[in-house]
Copies of this chain bind each other. A is one copy, B any other.
Amino acid sequence: MKAAVVIGTGLIGTSVALALSRRGVTVYLNDINGSAALTAEAMGAGICRLPDETVDLAVLAVPPGKTSEVLAAAQRAGLALAYTDVASVKARPYSELDSAGADRSRYIGGHPLVGAEGSGPIAGRGDLFEGRPWVLTPSAHSNQDVLNRVLELVWLCSSVPVVMDSRDHDSAVALTSHAPHILASLMAGRLAEATEQSLRICGQGLRNAVRTAGGSPKLWGEILEANAGAVADVLDAYATDLAQAIKALRALGNANPEECKQAADLLDEILTRGNRGLIRVAPGSGQHDLARVPAIIPDQPGALAELFAAVRDAGMNIEDVRIKHSSDRPRGFVELFVARASAVKLSRLLDDAGWFAPASPPPAVEPGPGA
């Protein structure tokens, strides 16, 4: 790829331009907000004008509701041989291409999955996409040459290409991004009216949970509108779950012990299912998939503390410990729970330190005890 145009120099567009520029691609920048384009230019993202000749690729970094219109205009101007975009909604914008007069064969939808901080060109970073998935949604109309140009863009940005059907993509982001955005906004919205005293005691957990609610209402309004059906479907499912949870909480104070028990069981099921879901997106959360490594501790003061220190110094995290309760001081038989990946390393360390540990692979998985 020799030259590219980036249309829309917000956070994502500027980051694409920075990534391409530093790989030696000549990048032309364009934005309806001239100030944003000039800022991107000042950051070294490219040249703030349209190219004189047709370039290899045009990247549209505009809101999803603008994709078809901007694509048609860019194609009429003959800007590039191939076109892609970076919007987080793919199906509806694609369905609008024909009526907008765009050529579907020269376009393949794209969506780099990045968790960006800030907004505008000034927040752009050339390494934003490194190692992140970049979804491509080619259709039956897509041209192979166009696909290869877009794949080269993804490679130049050091991203991992993932090909998906546009509707599957939109359902997936509804579940993993758009619906959670609404829930975060609702949670944060209730804080807008809370008393000062309530907020004084809020913790980091809440901040993390609602941080995404800080996104631009204008941009998010456009995203949610473009994916409204899929998002509403996910939220319907949440609403059903939420109604169940509320019913269970109200029933906990119930005089009928049978109903009370059922409510507690339902609540436990909700919490346990949450554990299971979290582990799928954040492996290593909770006390799951741990390996148990036994050790015999010499009968001398401070031996156990010494063991803990040695394990920590070796860069391992002890997730849990069980000490055999045989006398009034800690000694004797101990079981250490660590991530499975650390188990062999820990066994060796225990051997080297003179604490007995089995030389063979550690015993099978056993979940550690609860909190």
Binding site for B on A (CB under 8 A): 10-11, 33-35, 38-39, 41-44, 48-49, 113-115, 118-122, 132-133, 135, 162, 164, 168-169, 171-173, 175-177, 179-180, 182-195, 197-221, 224-225, 228-229, 231-232, 234-239, 241-243, 245-246, 249-250, 252-253, 264, 267-268, 270-282, 285-287, 304-305, 308, 318-325, 328-330, 368-371
Contacts and interface: CB of A to CB of B under 8 A. Distances in A.
A113 B207 CA distance: 13
Contact of A206 (B132, B180, B187): B180
A197 B172 CA distance: 8
A221 B275 CA distance: 13
B206 A191 contact: no
Q: How many copies does the complex hold?
A: 2
Nearest to A285: B214
Closest CB pairs A-B (n = 9): A185-B274, A119-B371, A188-B277, A191-B277, A213-B274, A216-B371, A217-B271, A172-B198, A192-B277
Contacts of A11: 371
Contacts of A278: 188, 191, 210-211, 213-214
B191 A271 contact: no
A11 to B, nearest CB: 7
